[in-house]
Structure 1
Amino acid sequence: MIEQESVPAGPPRPLRPLRGAARCAVAALALAALAWSVRAVWHLRLAAAGEPASGPPDQGDGVHRPLNALEDSYHLVSSAGAGVTAVCAVVFLFWLDRARDNAEALTGSAPRYGYGWLWLGWIVPVANLWIPRGVVADVHRSVFPERPLPAVVNWWWGLWLLGLAGGVGIIYADDTDEVIARAYHEVTPLLAADLVIVAAAAAAALMVHTLTTAQQEHIARKGY
């Protein structure tokens, strides 16, 4: 069973510092947005250059021609972007882990989803369509249980799901050479995917700032 009932969590947990983790998360999300923006620029450069007369990098039947300078630089941009995105995911989850622990300390009840779902909720098929948003929602409800979620949470989650379906899926279903060939002939879907991911990162950064500020102000009012 994925969702668990809210039950007393035992002795109160100490509150964990959150602002530093939030600043790191916002900075990491900004870098991820920059990385995907650079990727979009390279997609445009490839489209403008056009496919060489020698054809796509992947010639089929296991044959790959030598890359030109622009294609080689795209490989570097793509690898750097993947690395930045991975670091961003770790830093974001580090912030969410702290915010979730503080939510448990403030409510005195165990969260709806067990600790493992903080990590597994992003990768388990079907469950990843709602659990991460639920974990974030618990953070908000620890401060304002009677209020609806801030709009930025729904914007972030909608953009994330759109990117998961139409952005990350498009790009990572193919290897880098196949993406280069796609940029030569049908760059618009790639640019749309880039735009969605950049927007999702921006919404996530605003969400981190909004929820952190609300939780910290609540803690200050209560005198914890």
Structure 2
Amino acid sequence: MIEQNSAPPAPALRPVRGAARCAIAFLALAGAAWVARAVWHIRLAVAGQPASGPPDQGDGVHRPLNTLEDSYHLVASVGSAVTAVCVIVFLLWLDRMRDNAKALSGTDPRYGDAWLWLGWILPVVNLWIPWGVIADVHRSVFPERPLPAVVNWWWGLWLAGLAGGMGIIYSDDTDEVIASAYSGVLSLLGADLVIIAAAGAAALMIHTLTTAQQEHVAGRGR
């Protein structure tokens, strides 16, 4: 019997283009939501604080909101909901990319599955592990290539958005943010611009990493 050499079977890969498009779409929505926040911050600053003072009067007393303040609550709530969904969709894309990177490289990810979720919320380690998870997706498949610069740009903007409690995660409640818009809107606008830029960088990063991985898969099939 003559033995025939055959190529090793192609690794089982998860479809990722649809997940990438969905993540980019939600990043666009999240960016638009933060643009809306910025617009309302400007509107609040231009309107000026009412004579009755800030919404939070202190000692647990809150005055009735005016129409503009009430509409800001709605804008902020919608923006927070869109951002939460965006995070989930982004992580689902990243999960597929990690699985494909493992199949293509034949090596386990540097960070285990739990870090895909916990790395973003645990203090201190959230300063580098999410970046490391994404960098590993690229480096495990392309060890000879430098990490795309957009990954570092995105991560720098993400960290800037986390800093100071005026970005991705507000340390103040909505009424306190309204008071900040009345007294010092520039810090709010600066944070808004950072988050909008971070969303754009994240979308570009998803496109860059997904395209590179898909082109590698196509090259293996030739």
TM-score (normalised: structure 2): 0.93
SS at 1:87's partner residue?
Answer: helix
Does the CA contact (< 8 Å) of 2:55 and 2:175 recur in 1?
A: yes
Cα RMSD, aligned residues only: 1.6
The structure that has the greater radius of gyration is 2
Aligned equivalent of 2:58, options 50, 60, 80: 60
Gaps of 5+ in 1: 1-10
Residue number in structure 2 paired with 1:22: 20
The one-letter code sitting in structure 2 at the alignment partner of 1:20 is G
SS at 1:59's partner residue?
Answer: strand
Gaps of 5+ in 2: 1-8
State the 1:65 CA deviation: 0.6
Q: Where do residues 115-126 of structure 1 align in structure 2 (5 Å cutoff)? A: 115-126=113-124
Distance 1:185 1:58 in 2: 14
The one-letter code sitting in structure 1 at the alignment partner of 2:75 is V
Distance 1:78 1:64 in 2: 18
Q: Structure 1 residue 182 and structure 2 residue 180: aligned? A: yes
State the 1:142 CA deviation: 3.0
State the 1:143 CA deviation: 2.9
Q: Where do residues 26-45 of structure 1 align in structure 2 (5 Å cutoff)? A: 26-45=24-43
Distance 2:40 2:135 in 1: 36
Distance 2:124 2:59 in 1: 35
TM-score (normalised: structure 1): 0.92
SS at 2:141's partner residue?
Answer: coil
The one-letter code sitting in structure 1 at the alignment partner of 2:99 is D
Q: Which runs of 4+ in 1 moved over 4 A?
A: 167-171
What number of residue pairs does the alignment pair up?
A: 214
State the 1:166 CA deviation: 3.5
Q: Where do residues 1-224 of structure 1 align in structure 2 (5 Å cutoff)? A: 14-166=12-164, 168=166, 172-223=170-221
Quick one: structure 1 residues 44 and 93, their matched pair in 2 at CA, closer, same or farther if it must change by over 3 Å? Answer: same
State the 1:139 CA deviation: 1.3
Distance 2:169 2:143 in 1: 39
